Amino acid sequence: MFGGGCGRNALLNNALFALVIVPIQTTLALGLALLLNRPLKGMALFRTLFFMPVVFPMALVSVIWTIIYAPGSDGMMNAFLRFMTLGFWQPQDFLHDPVLALPAVMLLSIWQGVGFQMVIILAGLQSIPTSLYEAAAIDGSDRWNQFRYITLPQLRNTLIFVVLVTTILSFRLFDSVRIMTRGGPNDATTTVMNEAIKAAFDQQKMAKGSAITVIFFLIVLVITLLQRLLVQEEKAIE
């Protein structure tokens, strides 16, 4: 049923996707939240701007980014990279390149998802009592230490929640893959859900499609339970 490489490729891609996206997106969200966590004017405006992509349907995001990734030197991404590398970048066809396709999809997922996490983390940051920081400042600790010993521990639950949710969401990857690459050059970007839909609808193999979704759910369940187990252990130690 997982005949040949396609099942394995899909699982591999999902795993790769989750392993790359979750840390990058969370770190980025944390960074943005830290930047915004100050009583400066205009923070609300920036927060709105960073959150805007979240409101966009993935289908629309995929369509826009398809143009951004247009091959040749006319493509926006190519032009941008050429600008950033001072002319060294050669124009690439992102969506048809077996190596670049998956990272391209990752980038747009990150773009869409960071705002969501950032808002949650920001709320978590704002609930840390300032008295903790004041006490630490009086004791002479610098900002880096304050971050390590006050901010991070206080944020633990929020960060764990964010990581859990993002992991689960990342396994559902379908919309962008279906619209932009249809599984990618030689299954380079195919995901489990994409394979399931392909089997059930494009190939009329209903049973195979069903089987894939069932196994998928079991895998997600196992991973979620594992993550929760790890979390419980940490709580117990505290």
Partner 1 sequence: MNNLDSTQWTKQRNQQWLRQIASYLLLTFLAFIFIAPILFMIVGSLKPDELVLSEASTLKAFIPQQISLQNYRDVFERVKFEKFLFNSLFINGTIVLLGLIVNSLAGYAFARLRWRGRSLLLIIVVALMILPLEAIAVPLFFQFTFLGLRNTYIAQIVPFIANAFSIYLFYTFFADLPQELEEAARVDGASPLRTFVEIIVPVSKPVFATVAILTFLSEWRSLLWALMITIDERVRPLPLAIATFQTLPPTQWGDIMSFGVMMVAPILIVFLLFQKWFVKGVASTGTKG
- In terms of CB distance, is 127 or 203 closer to partner 1? 127
- In terms of CB distance, is 91 or 185 closer to partner 1? 91
For the CA atoms of 84, 55, 115, 82, what is the dihedral angle to 10 degrees?
-10
Q: How near is the Cβ of 202 to partner 1 at its closest, in Å? A: 11
- In terms of CB distance, is 46 or 149 closer to partner 1? 46
Q: How near is the Cβ of 34 to partner 1 at its closest, in Å? A: 10
Q: How near is the Cβ of 100 to partner 1 at its closest, in Å? A: 18
Q: How near is the Cβ of 76 to partner 1 at its closest, in Å? A: 4
Looking at beta carbons, which pairs linking 127-135 to residues 24 or more positions away fall under 8 Å? Answer: 128/154, 128/155
Phi, psi at 57, each rounded to 5°: -65, 140
Length of the chain: 238
Q: Who's near 52: CB < 8 A, 6+ residues apart?
A: 115
Cα(4)–Cα(25) distance, integer angstroms? 32
Phi, psi at 3, each rounded to 5°: -45, 130
- In terms of CB distance, is 126 or 186 closer to partner 1? 126
Tokens 């009583």 correspond to: 39
Q: How near is the Cβ of 4 to partner 1 at its closest, in Å? A: 21
CA angle 16, 22, 156 (to 5 degrees): 145
Cα(144)–Cα(122) distance, integer angstroms? 18
- In terms of CB distance, is 19 or 221 closer to partner 1? 221
- In terms of CB distance, is 102 or 115 closer to partner 1? 115
Cα(170)–Cα(114) distance, integer angstroms? 13
Q: How near is the Cβ of 9 to partner 1 at its closest, in Å? A: 18
